[in-house]
Amino acid sequence: MKILILVDSFKDSLSAIDVSKNIKKGILKVNNEIEVKELPLADGGEGTMEILINNLNGEIVKLDVIGPLGEKVNASYGIINGKIAIIEMAEAAGLQLLKQDKRNPLITTTYGVGELILDALEKGIRKFIIAIGGSSTNDGGVGMAAALGIKFLNKELKEIELNGKGLKDLFKININDIDNRIKDCNFQVACDVNNVLCGVNGAAYVYAKQKGATNEMIETLDNNLMNYSKIIKKDLDIDILNVEGAGAAGGLGAGLIAFLNGHLESGFEIISSRLNLENEIKNCDLVITGEGKIDFQSLNGKVPIGVAKLAKKYSKKVIVIAGSVEELTDEIYDIGINSVFSIINKPMKLEEALNKEIAEKGLMKLTEQIIRLIN
């Protein structure tokens, strides 16, 4: 029997690599003759760089860049075969870089993301995969673009603040000084959401609260992004207002489209194609997948759904193991998932559920019980 483990991370608890290892331990405890292959995955959010670098024998580059609040942070990006840069925006502008009381999407910036791109350009890289999950920002990507030479000006033709607040004053965009190497580049953008830029389904209303915004701030941020879209339309003749994915990462999706001709794609599909996932599934007997939480949002491009769709093509059984499971509709089974399990086996506080040791133990024990049933 060959079991393929294809899991995402359990956010705020275990990395995808740790989840995989503990599921494997549970399998082998029952029968150490089962062939187990681990391919930890991601959907375009945090962990994407690590997953691709580990599986494709890439290298890590570290450098100091401007962080979300203007301070220096040490960030990493990956290079594969000396030709492709893997950049996670969260490394330079991620929510995890800020303590709870410092989160404020009016003032956070993506400038450091642009600095990571610049460093890769200096190394001769012209192909990029940019993962845009986990942002602390709502600046539409102006920080990133400014680091690459684009000027964002107010009515007095002075540069605006490169953050969500500054977009209110945006009057003119000058792209004359953009780094001339950009025209020779290809930017694949790994994105796991399809939110538009503005409105009730936009960047601010859907995601800004978790980045520290009050209701009043959310309205301001949304209005500022609307102004941003109008100026892009006026000066660049690009309409990004209703493009699906433009609202990802506080509008960084829009900035990557407008200034770098970025192509937004499913993060899962980018990773699965790079890792030849379909062939791996074709040649196994059982797939175990999972993520930290299975709920209605899981249907929107998350790892377990992507895995299940591929597995269904080859009539492979798919078991989902999650940290927590909310009420599900039958749609999740129609997609190709056979059963869903939660590692939580008793009432517990969130802090307890996220505890690494408890999560690891829960994964091993639950996996052991599943394998005992089917072995």
CA 146 to each of CA 14, 103, 126, 137, 255: distance values in angstroms, whole numbers, following the listed order:
35, 22, 19, 15, 11
**Quick one: 159 and 261 in the same domain?**
yes
Evaluate if residue 313 carries a pLDDT over 80: yes
- CB of 167 within 8 A of CB of 195? no
Q: What residues contact residue 178 under an 8 Å CB cut-off, 6+ apart?
A: 145, 148, 149, 150, 259
Helix 303-313 crosses helix 267-274 at what angle (to 10 degrees)? Answer: 50
**Quick one: pLDDT at residue 43?**
80
φ/ψ of 70, rounded to 5, equals 90, -5
Higher pLDDT, 147 or 353: 147
pLDDT at 297 over 70: no
pLDDT level of residue 192 (50, 70, 90 thresholds)? confident
Which amino acid belongs to residue 316? K
- Number of other residues whose CB lies within 10 A of the CB of residue 340: 18
Same structural domain for residues 330 and 236? no
| Least confident span in 112-116, 149-153, 370-374 | 370-374
How many whole angstroms separate alpha carbon 261 and alpha carbon 182?
9
CATH of the domain at 147: 3.90.1510.10
| Share of residues in the chain with pLDDT > 70 (%) | 98
Which of 250, 267, 284 is the last residue before a domain boundary? 267
Give the mean model confidence (pLDDT) for residues 96-109: 96
> What's the average model confidence in pLDDT over 177-201?
94
Q: Can you tell me the mean pLDDT for 157-180?
A: 98
Q: Which domain holds residue 307?
A: 2-41+276-374
Q: pLDDT > 90: what percent of the chain?
A: 80
Q: Which residue has the higher pLDDT, 359 or 326?
A: 359
Q: Give the pLDDT mean for 81-109.
A: 96
End residue of a domain, out of 215, 246, 267? 267
Looking at residue 42, its pLDDT comes to 85
Q: Are residues 222 and 369 in the same domain?
A: no
Task: Copy the structure tokens of residue 260.
Answer: 């770098």
Domain end call among 267, 300, 320: 267
pLDDT reported for residue 349: 83
- Is the pLDDT score of 177 beyond 90? yes
Residue 44 banded pLDDT, cuts 50, 70, 90 = confident
pLDDT at 301: 63
Q: How confident is the model at residue 13 (pLDDT cuts 50, 70, 90)?
A: confident
- Same domain as 300, residue 233: no
Please give the C-alpha separations between residue 117 and each of 76, 221, 267, 325, in angstroms, as whole numbers: 11, 26, 19, 38
- Measuring CA to CA, how many Å separate 156 from each of 109, 168, 177, 234, 359? 22, 14, 19, 18, 55
Q: Mean pLDDT, to the nearest integer, of 318-340?
A: 88
Q: What is the band of 164 on the pLDDT scale with cuts at 50, 70, 90? A: very high
CATH of the domain at 281: 3.40.50.10350
Pair 20, 147 in one domain: no
User: Is there a single domain that holds both residue 259 and residue 281?
Assistant: no
Inform me whether the pLDDT recorded for 146 exceeds 80.
yes
What mean pLDDT is predicted for residues 226-237? 98
Q: How many domains does the chain have?
A: 2
The position carrying tokens 């930290």 is 292
Residue 300 has pLDDT above 80, yes or no: no
- Average pLDDT (134-149) is 97
Mean pLDDT along residues 275-291: 95
Q: Are 215 and 158 contained in the same domain?
A: yes
Do residues 13 and 37 both lie within one domain? yes
The verdict on 296 and 325 lying in the same domain is yes
Kindly state the average pLDDT of the residues 160-189: 98
Neighbouring-strand partners of residue 74: 64
pLDDT at 222: 98
157 & 183 share domain = yes
Tokens describing residue 152: 């964002």
Nearest of 362, 287, 349 to residue 323 by alpha carbon:
362
3-state secondary structure of 241: coil
Rounded mean pLDDT, 269-293: 93
At residue 298, does pLDDT exceed 70?
no
Would the pLDDT of 296 be above 70? Answer: no
Say whether pLDDT at 70 is over 70: yes
Confidence at 218, pLDDT banded by 50, 70, 90: very high
pLDDT at 372 exceeding the cut of 80: yes
**Mean pLDDT over residues 96-111, rounded?**
96
262: exposed, middle or buried (C-beta count within 10 Å: 0-12, 13-18, 19+)?
buried
Verify that 334 and 236 share a domain, yes or no. Answer: no
Lookup result for tokens 């492709």: 84
Co-location of 55 and 17 in the same domain: no
